[in-house]
Amino acid sequence: MSIIFFDDNARQTLLPLTYTRPVADLRIGILTIAEKWAKHLNTDHSFHTADYLQAKYPAKIEADNLFINGAVCPDENLLEAVSKLQTGQALQYNEQLLAVRLNQTDAINFNPEAKFDNIINYPNLFVAIRYPEDIFRKNDIELRKDFQLLTKGRTSATISATNVIIGNDFFAEEGAVAECSTFNTTNGPIYLSNDTEVWEGTHIRGAFAICEHSQVKMGTKIYGATTVGPYSRVGGEINNAVIWGYSSKGHEGYLGNSVLGEWCNIGADSNNSNLKNNYAEVKLWDYSTQRFRKTGLQFCGLIMADHAKCGINTMFNTGSVVGVGANVFGAGFPRNFIADFSWGGAAGFEVYMLHKMLETAQKVFERREHRTFDQTEQDLLTRIFELTEEYRIF
């Protein structure tokens, strides 16, 4: 059976994070949403997403196909309900399509907005991602679930006796290295993936996860619930942030209640505010409505999409959204919404010309031997540049 993750209207409300990936490729907890389902179901997966993303994330249709909503995170009850679906049956929650099982002919013509005849209503609550802030807001829930999923029936590797581990919910994969650091699991589990490094003098308070081939630099302070994705490097002070991978926040400075996409870089001594001076509710720019949306949150920091970067001493206001490929620098607080492929800062912005941005992306990819900045990647970013032109009004 082919497992295919589909995007519903959450793809629009999750922009700019979903310009570069299907919804199910979002990382929350330790794994991406697609990886969670695939590990539970013990199978491969593919994606039904925007046309321009399908070259990188192709759909694989077979005789028997199970379409799963990419914004929905699995749990025990939901897994059972989805696994019991028969061909032609759809699982819904308050008219939201959660999953549907289709034969090859119907799968080729699949439309997530279509009406299905054989509907099963799902009665339970579940974790779903609808807005960018949901990723850090629900990260604690998903990190704990993923920790149980990845460590069940297994024994942690041994790390150096120079470390202090408080509590019992600590797990290190083979190849994880840490020295002279403290790991406090009394408020949540701590997971160190393979070939990760935690350098001397670091203090980590769970829940926390670091994914493969990433490093935490000396003297870093991390508060839960925080995830550092693969091939990343972090330092300074981090609180309730999710860093997807291939990104660097390697220096002093504060990152809190935030999400960083892939291939991002945070300059030295850069900070984000996560609380307004008047303690008011934070608003975030919403691409689907083209206006600022109330989040219901008092603490909400920085949402930064893939390939975005900032120079040293950058100061981000509470509730800042930075689009794909933006490059931010200079003194003062830049605006709360920085459009995709913008170049500048508080003094003003101009268009970050596509060929210049692609040159930078090429150099960044070259730093990772297992990743190639191929034509597919270039075409994807070129299409996003076209799609986001309307927001670059300087």
Domains and CATH numbers, the chain: 2-129 (3.90.550), 134-391 (2.160.10.10)
Backbone angles phi, psi at 8, to 5 degrees: -105, -155
CA distance 119 to 94: 11
Helix residue ranges, H only, 127-178? 133-137, 139-151
CB–CB of 20/261 below 8 Å? yes
Q: Chunk the chain into consecutive blocks of 10 residues (it has 394) and report each block's average pLDDT, rounded to whole numbers.
A: 96 98 98 97 95 96 97 97 96 96 95 93 97 98 98 96 97 98 98 98 98 98 97 98 96 97 97 96 96 97 98 97 97 95 96 97 90 95 97 87
CB–CB of 189/147 below 8 Å? yes
CB–CB of 203/218 below 8 Å? no
Please give the pLDDT value at position 162: 98
Please give the pLDDT value at position 394: 77
CA distance 185 to 201: 17
CB–CB of 203/182 below 8 Å? yes
CA distances to 130, 203, 279 from 224, in Å: 22, 11, 22
CA-based nearest residue to 301, from 267, 270, 330: 270
Please give the pLDDT value at position 78: 97
